[in-house]
C-alpha cells in the first residue's frame, strides 16, 4: 500500500500499517519533507517501544524495514492495492492529487481519503474510479486511539467498503462504519465544534487557554483540555478547516495565525503551541 503525506497522521498511518506486517510506501513532495518523515518514524519507534504491548525487543524498529520513502508519486503507487491520502485539508490540493493519481495508479488500486472534514463526494469525480473510492479516517495517536471511520459515497462498491473494514481490523484498528455521508464523520462532528467553542472563548478574551483547559479537565475528568488537543493535532489542520468556514470561523483562523502559527507555534511537533514542549534549560 501507499500513504500520501508524511505529516503527523500520515506518518502514523504508514508506521502502524508497517508495524502490522504490511509493506508501505510513504510519499511526500520533496526530500526535505521526507527528512522530517524519517525523524517522525524514528520517534514513533520510541513511542511504540514504550507504549505498545509487544513492540519492544526490536519489533517496532523492524517495522521501519517495511517502509519505503519516496518523492516520486508514480513509483509510490505503481503496484499499490490501496492508497491512503493524508495531504493538507485543502479541497483543491486533494482534487489535483486525485486527478493525477487516476492516471498513475493501476486499475486495481483502491483510493481512500483520510480527510477529517471533507466529504468523499467532494473528491470522487477527480478519482476516475468512484466505485473504488471512499474515506478511511483515523484519529491522532492511532496506536492508542485506534478508531478507523469508514465512509463511502452513493457510488462506492459495497465490496470495497467491506474490504476497508477488513483492512482496518488487520492493522489493529476498531472499524466504525458510517452508513451515509456526514462532514466530520463521527469523531470530528463531536470534536470540531468543541475546539471551535474553546477558540471562541480565548479569541474573544473571555478566558486564557490554559484556564479553559483547567475548567474542562477538572469539571469533566477528561485527561486533556481543548487547547492541549489542538497541540496534539497540530494547529495547521484546524487553521485550514476554519479558513474555509463562515465569517466567524475565518476570524478564529486569523487569531490562530496571528498569535501562534506566524510565530512557529504549531503544536507538539514544533515544540510549542498553546503550551511549550521544549526541554527546560
Q: Specify the residue for cell string 479569541.
A: 203
- Confirm whether 62 is a catalytic residue: no
pLDDT at 193: 93
Q: Would you say residue 46 has pLDDT above 80?
A: yes
DSSP 251-274: HHHHHHHHHTGGGT--BGGGTBSS
Cα 80 to Cα 23, 24, 112, 217: the distances in Å are: 10, 9, 12, 43
From the candidates 11, 114, 115, 188, give the one annotated as an active-site residue.
Answer: 188
169, 161 contact by CB (below 8 A): no
From the candidates 11, 26, 85, 137, give the one annotated as an active-site residue.
Answer: 137
**206-237 per-position pLDDT tens digit:** 999 999 999 999 999 999 999 999 999 899 98
Mean confidence (pLDDT) of the chain: 95
- Confirm whether 70 is a catalytic residue: no
From the candidates 11, 114, 116, 126, give the one annotated as an active-site residue.
Answer: 116
Q: How, if at all, do strands 2-4 and 82-85 pair?
A: parallel
**113-163 per-position pLDDT tens digit:** 999 778 999 999 999 999 999 999 999 899 999 999 999 999 999 999 999
Q: How, if at all, do strands 67-70 and 24-27 pair?
A: parallel
From the candidates 89, 126, 149, 196, give the one annotated as an active-site residue.
Answer: 149
Confidence bin at 183 (pLDDT 50/70/90): confident
Stretch (H or E) spanning 176: strand 174-178
Listed in sequence order, the residues at least 6 apart from 118 whose beta carbon sits closer than 8 Å to its beta carbon are 89, 91, 94, 183
- Confirm whether 116 is a catalytic residue: yes
pLDDT at 279: 78
pLDDT at 188: 85
Q: Which residue has the higher pLDDT, 280 or 219?
A: 219
What does pTM read for this prediction?
0.82
| Length, in residues, of the chain | 281
- Confirm whether 188 is a catalytic residue: yes
Q: How many CA atoms lie within 13 A of 274 on its CB side?
A: 25
pLDDT at 281: 53
**49-85 per-position pLDDT tens digit:** 999 999 999 999 999 999 999 999 999 999 999 999 9
Q: How, if at all, do strands 174-178 and 147-151 pair?
A: parallel
Task: Report the C-alpha gap between 254 and 265 in whole angstroms.
Answer: 14
Amino acid at each position: 500500500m501507499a500513504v500520501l503525506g508524511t505529516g503527523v497522521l500520515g506518518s502514523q498511518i504508514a508506521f502502524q500499517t508497517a508495524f502490522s506486517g504490511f509493506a508501505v510506501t510513504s510519499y511526500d513532495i520533496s526530500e526535505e519533507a521526507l527528512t522530517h518523515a524519517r525523524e517522525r518514524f524514528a520517534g514513533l519507534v520510541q513511542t511504540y517501544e514504550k507504549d505498545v504491548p509487544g513492540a519492544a525487543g526490536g519489533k517496532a524498529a523492524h517495522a521501519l524495514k517495511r517502509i519505503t520513502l519516496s518523492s516520486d508519486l508514480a513509483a509510490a503507487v505503481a503496484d499499490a492495492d490501496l492508497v491512503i491520502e493524508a495531504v493538507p485539508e485543502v479541497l483543491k490540493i486533494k482534487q489535483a492529487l486525485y486527478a493525477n493519481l487516476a492516471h498513475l495508479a493501476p486499475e486495481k488500486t483502491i483510493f481512500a481519503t483520510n480527510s477529517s472534514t471533507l466529504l468523499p463526494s467532494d473528491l470522487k469525480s477527480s478519482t476516475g474510479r468512484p466505485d473504488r473510492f471512499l474515506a478511511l479516517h483515523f484519529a491522532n495517536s492511532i496506536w492508542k486511539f485506534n478508531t478507523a471511520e469508514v465512509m463511502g459515497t452513493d457510488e462506492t462498491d459495497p465490496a470495497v467498503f467491506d474490504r476497508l473494514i477488513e483492512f482496518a481490523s488487520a492493522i489493529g484498528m476498531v472499524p466504525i462504519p458510517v452508513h451515509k455521508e456526514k462532514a466530520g464523520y463521527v469523531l470530528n462532528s463531536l470534536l470540531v465544534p468543541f475546539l471551535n467553542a474553546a477558540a471562541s472563548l480565548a479569541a474573544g478574551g473571555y478566558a486564557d487557554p490554559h484556564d479553559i483547559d483547567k475548567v474542562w479537565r477538572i469539571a469533566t475528568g477528561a485527561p486533556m483540555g481543548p487547547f492541549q488537543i489542538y497541540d496534539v493535532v497540530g494547529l495547521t489542520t484546524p487553521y485550514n478547516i476554519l479558513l474555509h468556514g463562515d465569517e466567524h470561523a475565518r476570524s478564529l483562523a486569523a487569531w490562530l495565525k496571528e498569535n501562534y502559527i506566524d510565530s512557529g507555534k504549531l503544536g507538539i511537533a514544533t515544540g510549542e503551541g498553546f503550551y511549550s514542549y521544549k526541554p527546560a534549560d
